[in-house]
Amino acid sequence: MTAPEPAKQAATTRRFGTCAWGLLSICFTASLLDGAELDEVRRRGELVWAADQEGGGPHVFPDPADPRQITGFEVELAELIAGELGVKARFLQGQWDRLPLLLEQSADCVINGIELTPERRRDYGCSRPYFSYALQALGRRGAAPASFADLAEPGPSGPWRVGVLTGSAAETEMRARSSRGEVQMEVIGYDGTLDSLEQVQSAVLDAAVMDDCIFAFYADRYGKLRAVDRPFAGGFYTVLTARSTPRLAVAIDDALGTLLADGRLKALYDRWDLAGRQQMLLLRDAAEIPPASQRTLVELIRQTLPLLLSSAGMTILLSCASFPLAIAIGLAVAIGRLYGPSWLKPPLTAYVEVLRGTPLMLQLYAIFFLLPKVGLALPALMAAILGLALNYSAYESEIYRAGLKAVPLGQFEAALSLGLSKWQALRHVLVPQAVRIVMPPVTSDFIALFKDTSVCSAITVIELTKRYSVLALSMGRIVELAMVTALIYLCMSWPLSLLSRWFEARLERPAGTTP
Partner 1 sequence: MIKVESLTKHRSGTPVLDGVTLAGEAGGVTALVGPSGSGKSTLLRCLNGLECFERGVVSIAGHRLTPGPHSGGVLEALRRDVGMVFQQFNLVPHLSVLDNVTLAPRTVLKNTVAEARSRAIELLDRVGLGSFAAARPATLSGGQQQRVAIARALAMQPQVMLFDEPTSALDPTMTAEVLEVIVDLAKAGQTMVVVTHDHGFAKRAATWVVELAAGKVARQGTAAEML
Considering the complex, state which of residue 237 and residue 400 has its C-beta at the smaller distance from partner 1: 400
Closer of 42 and 422 to partner 1 (Cβ): 422
Q: Taking CB under 8 A as the rule, does residue 414 contact partner 1?
A: yes
Q: In whole angstroms, what is the distance from residue 471 CA to residue 481 CA?
A: 8
Amino acid at 319: S
Which of 416, 447, 478, 496 forms a contact with partner 1 (CB under 8 A)?
416
Q: Is 19 exposed, middle or buried (0-12, 13-18, 19+ CB in 10 A)?
A: exposed
In terms of DSSP bridges, do strands 125-126 and 240-241 run parallel, antiparallel, or are they unpaired? Answer: antiparallel
For partner 1, the closer of residues 179 and 417 by Cβ is 417
Q: Which of 52, 227, 70 is nearest to 141 (CA)?
A: 227
Distance CA 429, CA 417 (A): 12
21 versus 502: smaller Cβ distance to partner 1: 502
Q: Measured between alpha carbons, how far apart are the two ends of the chain, in Å? A: 89
* Nearest approach, Cβ of residue 343 and partner 1 (Å): 16
> Is 306 near partner 1 (CB under 8 A)?
no
Long-range contact list for 115-119, CB < 8 A, 24+ apart?
A: 115/168, 115/169, 115/235, 115/236, 115/237, 115/238, 116/235, 116/236, 116/237, 116/238, 116/289, 117/169, 117/172, 117/235, 117/289, 117/292, 118/289, 118/290, 118/291, 118/292, 119/292, 119/474, 119/475, 119/476
Q: Give min distance, CB of 340 to partner 1, in A.
A: 13
Q: How far is the CB of 507 from partner 1 (least distance, A)?
A: 8
Q: Site for partner 1 (CB under 8 A): which residue of 156, 223, 341, 408?
A: 408
Give the nearest distance from C-beta 427 to partner 1 in angstroms.
Answer: 8
Shortest distance (Å) from residue 433 CB to partner 1: 6
Residues 419-458 vs partner 1: string with x where CB under 8 A? Answer: xxxx-x---xx--xx--x----------------------
Q: Which of residues 473-512 bind partner 1 (CB under 8 A)?
A: 507, 510-512
R_g (Cα) of the chain, nearest Å: 29
Of the ranges 154-162, 252-260, 344-352, 412-420, which one interacts with partner 1 (CB under 8 A)? Answer: 412-420
The residue (of 64 and 515) whose beta carbon lies closer to partner 1 is: 515
Asked if residue 405 binds partner 1 (CB under 8 A), the reply is no
Distance of alpha carbon 309 from alpha carbon 485, whole angstroms: 9
Per CB under 8 A, residues contacting partner 1 are 408, 410-411, 413-422, 424, 428-429, 432-433, 436, 507, 510-515
